[in-house]
Structures are given as structure tokens and as C-alpha cells.
Structure 1
Amino acid sequence: MTDDVTELTEENIEQLFPEIQQYRETVGDEGIERMLDLLGDFSEELQHNWERISKRKHNPSRKGDAFENTLKGFLESYFTSAFDIRIGCSVVDSELRCFNEFDYRQNEFDVVSSFRTAVPNIVFSEDNMYWVPYDGVAFICEVKSKLTKDKLEGDLSKLDILRKIRGNPSDRFPDNISGTNMMVPHQLHCLIYDKNEINQQTQKELLYEYPNSWDLLLIVNEDKLLMNSTLPYAHKLFNNEGQEGEFQWCHIDNGLLWLIVTLSVSIPQPPVVYTINPLVKMASFMGASTGGGHYKH
């Protein structure tokens, strides 16, 4: 197994970002320094905002819920106009495979972000569980206070089931999608941990075992982000030697900053997201179980 982790440092930044030389010619060295200062200040602001929300949401008796609420509040600070963000939410795929693939209560994800432009914009509820159409989801986060072998393996295997049932995610969008040339049609799968307590070799082996199940992994306490290089943005950003879509990952400091940036450039902004399929199929089962309808003459 080779080491396919690309780490961003001050020493290799110009090698990894060949466009920087072009920027220097356009903006000049002084302009580059000013822009880096702005980004540095913004990165610090993100960390302060996380800490502020964390203190406000802190509940010593329910640490897991507090961390999920912190992430929800943090994301809402920057994406509230585009997404509805929910905690402890399940998803219904267009083929209804979720009811067979997941055990009861297993189909519940810590933080689920749905497009506000979903049509119909519906939320199902049952036994204090909330369900949204998976076609209307922009990204999903599994959130834990500690990154350990058991928790990482559990999160990856759970997201892997979700990956297998998502079908063709581009079908949910019309042709006229706004966004960057680095956006992806599928729902982004994010892993968010507060503290790192895993052996690095174990982490590497698990990420290799589930290469297509995760897109971003953030360790908040270290402010580090691991970005799956199958994302078009990662491939462009780091000018990888491998082919686009080939699995590696990039290890980046200022993780909260890069989380915001990567979500922004990778997720489309469609005028409408079609989420009617699961509702139509569920309704047809209801019709069959009640004897169907009849024409009135």
C-alpha cells in the first residue's frame, strides 16, 4: 500500500497550485500577501464562530447532541439560504431500497442538509423520526466527538449502504443547473469528528476499504480536513498525477475554511430538485393495500 496522502504546506504550495504564479503576475506579491491575510483572518473567524456556537449549545449530559447542534449552527451561519439542515434525520431513496437495506433506526444520520428548492419539499415523520427524500439531499454528515477505529468503521459502512442505494443522482436535477465546473451530481458524504484518537495506519486502511463512501473528513480539534481526491475540486486543486476519479486523499490545514469552500464549489445550485419519486411509489403501495380506487360514473 503506497502513501497517497497529499499534504498542503507552505513549502509545497506553489508546486500544488500552479495557478499561483499566474496570480502573482496579475495581482503582484503585495496583493497576494493581502489576500492571504484576508483568508487567514477568515479562517480564524470560522474557528471563533465554531467555539462560540459550541459554548452556546453545550450540554454536559448530552455531548453527542451538543456536537451535532454545534455543526448544525455552524453550517447554518453560511448556508441557511440554500439548505434546510436537520439533526437525526432519515432518508428515503427513490427506489425505496432504504426500507430493506437498513435495519430499523439504522437509517438515521446525524446531520442532513436538504435543498430548499426540493419539489415537493416534504418531511415524513414516524415514532419521533424524521424522513426526507434522499434525492433532495445536498450533503450528509456523520458526527462524533471522537475519531476511533470503531466509530470510523461504523460511519463508513453506514455511508457505504447509502452510496449503493442512491442510483443515478443526476436524474434529480433539470438541465439548467447553476454552479461551478467542479460540482458533483451525488450527495456529499462528510465525516466530522471533534478529537482524533485513531492510529493513522488504521485510519488509512479503513479509508482505502471504503474509497467511494466518503468525500470529506474533518477533525475539528486539529482544524484538519481530509478531502477525497475523487472530487473534481480536489483533482484540480492539487493537480494530482493520477487520473481524475482515482482514489487518493488530500490532508489540509485550516480545515473549517476548506470545508466551507469545498461544499460551496462541489454542490450544484439547481432551480428545482425533483423529489417526487419516493412519494409516488409509497402512495401506490397505500392504494394497493386499501384495495385501490375506482372510477365514478
Structure 2
Amino acid sequence: MQTPRKPSQRKSVKRTTRKKKGDNKWPLRFKLSAFIVILILLSPWYYGYVLKTLTSAWRWVRDIGEDPHYRTYTSFDIRIPTRYSIHGIDVSYAQGKIDWQKVRAMEDDGVKIHFSFIKATEGLTLVDPYFQRNWREAAKVGIVCGAYHYFHPRASGKQQARFFLQTVSFENGDMPMVADVETLDGHSPEKMRRELKAFLDHIEKKTKKRPVIYTGLSFYRDYLQGHFDTYKLWIAHYYKHELNAGKNTNWVFWQHSDKAKVNGINHSVDFNVFRGDSTEFRHLVE
């Protein structure tokens, strides 16, 4: 014969049962919460947000103590003066075959390639083997182009200008043509200036547009300053936060680095800024 349970035992059993039923609710809530967390963690939006936040934080930490107007841009692997909004490169055969689509698409914190100077000719006989391809492909992707000639004072300036114009089809919308002057070729400064003036005069006569003179800051100060002051200048002066060429120097382009890394280019490349805003740049190429 079964012995009846005492009332206290029945109450104890009921309490135990109610406790177990209550406990079963928490695993469900926990699983739901965990599922939502997993969805967030797997979301591309979440990772984009986190990466953007971490990148900004790291950039802020890295730039502590740096000049805020001359800081490192990781993608380009150089420091870039940030007071300027229009940036560009200059290329020649030394950069090899360039993927201009990748060049155009590259951007780092608002810095992207707006223009490119492209080497066309040198002296009286040398044509850059990549000029025609670069001239054609860069324009296709919307990069504003300008052609430059490496000038040799030992040769006739007028003949060099003719050779340059035979190679380059200059059109409205292109940047002014450029005389790259870096050497005396063993001749006197007077001969260099005389032949350079002949080159510049012929280009302006044929294109109806005054050329730009490219040179290094030291060469400009030693041989050109005071002689070509009405011409716009493109000056090379590397790894500085500002171009200290003097207040009255008529420079419009500054080549501030020779070791930038740019997508689509397998070799280091020169990096430049334009001294002005988009309206002034547009007037330059009209």
C-alpha cells in the first residue's frame, strides 16, 4: 500500500517545477540576443563603420605633432601640403605602362589626381616612347593633360619648339605647354636664356598661349630669376611644407615630391599641386 506524501513534500515539488519553467525563458532570450549580435557583426555596414572609425582614430593619433597642413597620406605614401585642393602627377617612359583608370579612381581623404604633365620630347630628336599612349589614355578618363619638352640649351631653341609641336597636338582644354629647363649643357647662362626665349616665343606664336617654365628652385634662382618673370612657373622643391620661392615669384605648379605611390603606376612618380582653386585652374586651360 502506497504511503501518501506529506503536504510539505507536494509544495516542494510544485515550487521546483515552477522554478524550472521560469528558467526555460532565459535561454530563449539569450539565443535571440546572441542571434541579433551575430547579424550585426556579420553586417558589411558594421564593418565599414568600425573600419572607418578605426582608420580615422589611427590617422588622428599618427598625425599628433605633425603640421596639420603637411601630413602623411598612407595611400600615396608621401606627405602632402593640404592647403591646396588640386593635385596632379607628371610622367614619362620611366613610369612604364600606366593604367590610367586606376590612377583616376584613386583617392585618399579627398586627395585625387586632377591633372598630369606628360613628357613628349627632348632636344631635337628624342620622342618619349610612351607619350602618345599616355596622352591618349589619360584624357580618356578625364585627367587634364599638359605636354612638356626637356630643353637642351646646346641646340636651337626655335628648332626644338618646332620638333615639340610636330609631336604634340595641342587643343583647348589642355594645360599650357611646358619647357623643362634643368641644365646649362656646359654652355653659358646667356646662351641658355637666349635659346629658351626663342623656344618660348615660337610656342606662343603657334599656339596663342604662353608656355610654362619648369625648373628646380636653385636653378631658377641662379639663372632664370629676373629674366622670365612674366612667365608662369612650375617649380620643383621636395619634402617641404611650403614652397619658399619668394612672394613675387609667379609660380602656379609646385612639384613637392618625387616618390609618390599611385595606383596603376608600378614606379614612383612626381606629385604636384596647383596654386589656386578650381575656377583659376579652369581659366588656365581655357
What's the TM-score once normalised by structure 1's chain length?
0.29
* Greater Cα radius of gyration, structure 1 or 2: 2
